[in-house]
Structure 1
């Protein structure tokens, strides 16, 4: 394959993905794209504006803006808020930060906030930009300034402050900031910016983020809390953290008079037993406003079936719209499995039986091995799937935004279809017309290659609910098979486009992606069923998928025929598979793998090691000899002596989720036993190895190993 395969991989990996979208008016959509630039070794972000009618689509592109951290169009479409961070050698930390408000092509307001706070937040758990109803204020999240040494505390700069863990770098103290401005004019005061601070903060610090205006004087936010041992347990990929929904009442004073901050009263609206996120406010004409949010249980598995809540902001009445689903039938709604809601997810339709409007929420959710779009009634919680499986392409979908009425913007993709941008016009609760407004620019040659790919979703007999996504090219009867289990373990392999899998399929490999017991999208029963059985039940499901592919004649045992690739918990599974079944496989690539459960070390999620192993976790938990013995027996390290196949290990040196020492120690253990093992380290990558360089190295190392093994059987 060599350079030809690398060129094909780069070609497929450089197609843009759609990260966000907004309606600027009824037929104008502003979308944010991200694309890999292998020459510059950077990810480039662009903004594309689409002018859409039922008959035609036209578009314009705004050039790459690497200094724009986040932006948002106001609900009226009149204003654009921009959070900008640019290089400035004279500024603190070498960065200059500004908040800008644009009206059409004119700068309405601008303020240098470099000295007011640290970096802007732009993640999905703590970050958001929200306009007040008057559209004269915005709320956003940024890092509170670090306190240096002072007369009161000469050691302040050395005091430990916990971080938010993986993917958050040195972010420790998020704070909500209010930016206010007046209309342009000679007498208009300068814009002002001030932090929102609780007038009566609780004893255990509450770290506020993800602000949303409910009214001009009320801001809703998510508050994260320290655990009893003074940690912030890792947040990313973990919707089970102690995080409450807060209502902040902003006093009717100008931030100009607020000094160091606007002190506000705060009320926690939710229970300590729930992990809450994605507050969204629906303003209903002539009716009270509704607050919508998503929650999961605190503790336990790091991801699970979510609940959807609604609260009437006038009466205070609260209901659960969508409950967890325990054990669905194959064709039934399996429950909600979502990280965050779209910034504005609401749909309004006319009732066929009355003059009253009917309100819905549109979101994407994992539904078995696909991500689909569901419409949820805010009246009774009824769920309707808008994107049933076509059983040919098996598209996976993500909701980006709605217009608040009957239009929805989504991105969709499939193994043979790079991401597209699609607009849906919802004509009824179960009827939608889709219009593709942007497709990847494929050459005829590449299109013909992708058209040879076939995708199927295959249930594994006697291992319900396990199923595999099978991807292969052409009509080859049997080919070397790469089994690729997901991490988590409470995650899901979906049918979304992936350049890595599509490239290997086009190069003659069969790709089998098992969704084993514990995967999301199959019911809460099966999430819980894996707890305490990692290293056995999930391994058995993966082996059953290998055997089934062989029994179906799609692949075969033998030298160079069964290959493995996986990261994190997927790497954990690979360590078990090559140790427990050393004669079945002929090569494995492990990315940031969990190898020894008892060596928790620097992980930002120490609770994971306990909960997934069937042990209760508390802030006071320590790894006793008895605990270590149990964890060791469930670890891949227990089978290191049996490993025979060539192994490649990839490590991100900045990984805070799985300590890099896990992979390094596995390398040394295999090396000491005379095994064929290679270790590759990426100094600027963290857990997902998703930098431009990290993704290319992940592909190249696997290509070299797998091609070498395949050539032995030729």
Structure 2
């Protein structure tokens, strides 16, 4: 019998696959929560299907009790089996009352670029509205795919009276054909595109070829428009009094160059007015090249409003068969709300008609930052700063993990988030957790909203995420932790609106609504409905050498069975970004490692959730400050938990910038780590700068600056600095056995980065292994890929850490 390093037989790969199956099946990924006036809670859950290599959506519906909507003590909602949603459904959007539901499907053709809209009311399908309609001998195609991108370009929005829906959709590109091919019009017209074809345009940028928004937006039109659907008539109208309508480098029907990309539309509560975000796509001169958008919050953007009075009147009217279904409005010009801000996003209206939004008064080159919360009464008024951008965590007020409020680290403001007449509730990253806060819009006080906890309760290290508000003002909140899949809670309205100046508002009447059972992801094995996650976790602080910045935090996990089996190895997992954070939340891949090894997730300086000064301290210092923080955290954990951690068995694993740090650590500390894993790592900024969809990242992180108004390659001196900041400079010192996983369709960190390091290590005789995923992008999150590469990672650490 072959024995591993621990003297025990090596784990069978089938057993590891079964364990990961249980852990992945326990994951609870929730979205689209809604509570109707009838007290029905609906929420979607995304689950994994290994055999078919895809995700499926399940719809849960629970009746929850009306006012005060509090369950009796100790009672938890009993679940019925969820409904499996048809894969053709792209969007399911209940109206505010819940009496109507809009469903967007791929239509009869199964093509998402030719969607159909369904209106359901009182359980009946009352109307089907195709976006390609026949008018006598002419077809009218309104737009391409309808966008559902809640953390990015936004999604559809109901009008307050539930008569209209505004949504975001792709602008159709021009039609092209080869010089030698005859073109037949076929009486087909694409609105927003061309009514005739461009000869020889199929390979021309802006005609047959589009400059897109990079990673994860491949195949999506870079120009998005806003539309309004009138439910009674079924008519669709495009909002044309918007920025970018006349700023293309050519006519909109002949090019996709230039323009402004529109998204995140919301309705004014009492007026026929839409607020939305516009991103410069080349038409405003602020960013001539479209850079990667996903994960990047520093793309030139502003908030605008458009009056749609006349458009709504036209959509309500009766038209003859000679007219088209698409009605152009002639409303007054749009108004810009945020001219004073280089970056602004996520407009929302309060019930009073006042607008709130996220913005930063200072341009920043990091891909994320602390954001300010602003309120504006009218277009011409000066925006009132409610929560400012904070350089350092507050020294007074509420604390989470012994740290004061660090400022807002929020991607989007939630809809209908007002609490009472003058409060706002939202979730924000606070150190290594996500927590709920209440913001007083008058006094500007920020208070922590928390669950009642007993002293030493492990749930103090859990994260809270706002899901939705009920019609009676209660809040549906999910709670999760690194060792606990999400559960649903109800926070009563009365608890959240209580008049108090206390730093923390404890919602004493918070009630657990439900815990979600596991859903089998595969036929590989049976699973337990509720599985005890086999490790404990806590948030720790690590002293820093810079007293002007907050301490480094980290999440530490330790296997539960360790007490019987002696010391365990430690795996260090630095996050990517670098301007993101590892917050307490359940991730199956991490759980697979944490069930056997101690894990530490360092939130090094540069992470979000610790104030703007800590975040910006990393710019021009990558490969140094972050590496030192990771090593300091690792050594601190080894020393403080030396009775539980085997200091001779230390591994490291990271993706993207986490892979950059992994490569740096095994190069700068060649005798420290016994095994390493990298997932789409950055290895050489100099060779990445002109190959990635985010060249600004290479400049900003290595040099500290970037001019978004001009596009150029790095000069000789800049290339030298980028190279010196890169882990490839230390490659000759590496001894650590290294596993590499690469997605070959990664536009963020091109696979050539990992290949460059892999071949260098292989030629130097370092034990290496390469995993290649031809259809994956940066996230390596296709269902089968996720399972395969995490099982490989567990095997790799088993081989070298025992």
With the length of structure 2 as denominator, give the TM-score of the two structures: 0.81
Cα distance in 1 for residues equivalent to 2:529 and 2:118: 42
Partner of 2:716: 625
Partner of 2:22: 11
Deviations 1:401-449 (A, max 9, x none): 1126531111111133211111111423424232221213269978674
Alignment size in residue pairs:
684
Partner of 1:462: 544
Deviations 1:284-343 (A, max 9, x none): 3xxxx1211112344311111111111124984531110012222443111111111223
Q: How does 1:592-607 map to 2 (within 5 A)?
A: 592-599=680-687, 600-607=689-696
- Structure 1: give runs of 5+ residues left out of the alignment: 183-188, 349-357
Q: 1:410 aligns with which of 477, 502, 509?
A: 477
Cα distance in 2 for residues equivalent to 1:105 and 1:38: 33
Cα distance in 2 for residues equivalent to 1:117 and 1:414: 41
Q: How does 1:25-424 map to 2 (within 5 A)?
A: 25=37, 27-53=39-65, 54-55=71-72, 57-60=77-80, 61-86=82-107, 88=109, 96-114=114-132, 115-123=141-149, 124-149=151-176, 153-160=198-205, 161-171=210-220, 172-182=222-232, 189=233, 191-198=234-241, 201-203=245-247, 205-214=259-268, 215=270, 217-226=272-281, 228=285, 230-252=288-310, 253-255=313-315, 259=326, 261-264=328-331, 265-271=333-339, 273-284=341-352, 289-296=353-360, 297-313=362-378, 316=381, 318-328=383-393, 329=395, 330-348=402-420, 358-387=421-450, 392-393=458-459, 394-403=461-470, 405-424=472-491
Q: In 2 relative to 1, CA 551–87 (structure 1 residues): closer, same or farther, beyond 3 Å?
A: farther
- Give the SS at the match of 2:646: coil
> How much has 1:260 moved relative to structure 2?
6.0
> How much has 1:244 moved relative to structure 2?
0.6
Partner of 1:471: 557
> How much has 1:480 moved relative to structure 2?
0.5
Which 4+ runs in 1 deviate beyond 6 A? 442-446
Contact persistence 2:114–2:144 (CA under 8 A): no
Contact persistence 1:535–1:635 (CA under 8 A): yes
Partner of 1:548: 636
- Mapped pair 1:590 → 2:704: no
- Give the SS at the match of 2:267: strand
- Give the SS at the match of 2:106: strand
- Give the SS at the match of 2:652: strand
> How much has 1:272 moved relative to structure 2?
6.1
- Mapped pair 1:578 → 2:578: no
> How much has 1:668 moved relative to structure 2?
1.8
- Structure 2: give runs of 5+ residues left out of the alignment: 1-10, 66-70, 133-140, 177-193, 248-257, 396-401, 499-504, 519-525
Cα distance in 1 for residues equivalent to 2:129 and 2:745: 33
Partner of 1:683: 774
Q: In 2 relative to 1, CA 684–710 (structure 1 residues): closer, same or farther, beyond 3 Å?
A: same
Deviations 1:437-489 (A, max 9, x none): 12132699786742x52212221133552122110112546311110000011
Q: In 2 relative to 1, CA 159–263 (structure 1 residues): closer, same or farther, beyond 3 Å?
A: farther
> How much has 1:87 moved relative to structure 2?
6.3
- Give the SS at the match of 1:557: strand
- Give the SS at the match of 1:668: helix
Partner of 2:136: none
Q: In 2 relative to 1, CA 478–462 (structure 1 residues): closer, same or farther, beyond 3 Å?
A: farther
Cα distance in 1 for residues equivalent to 2:479 and 2:675: 33
- Mapped pair 1:480 → 2:569: yes
Q: 1:501 aligns with which of 569, 584, 590?
A: 590
Q: In 2 relative to 1, CA 26–537 (structure 1 residues): closer, same or farther, beyond 3 Å?
A: farther
> How much has 1:69 moved relative to structure 2?
1.1
- Give the SS at the match of 1:639: helix
Between 1 and 2, higher relative CO (CA 8 Å, sep ≥ 6) is seen in 2
Cα distance in 2 for residues equivalent to 1:370 and 1:111: 43
Cα distance in 2 for residues equivalent to 1:517 and 1:207: 33
> How much has 1:58 moved relative to structure 2?
4.7
Cα distance in 2 for residues equivalent to 1:272 and 1:320: 12
Contact persistence 1:234–1:605 (CA under 8 A): yes
With the length of structure 1 as denominator, give the TM-score of the two structures: 0.91
Question: CA RMSD of the aligned region, Å?
Answer: 2.4
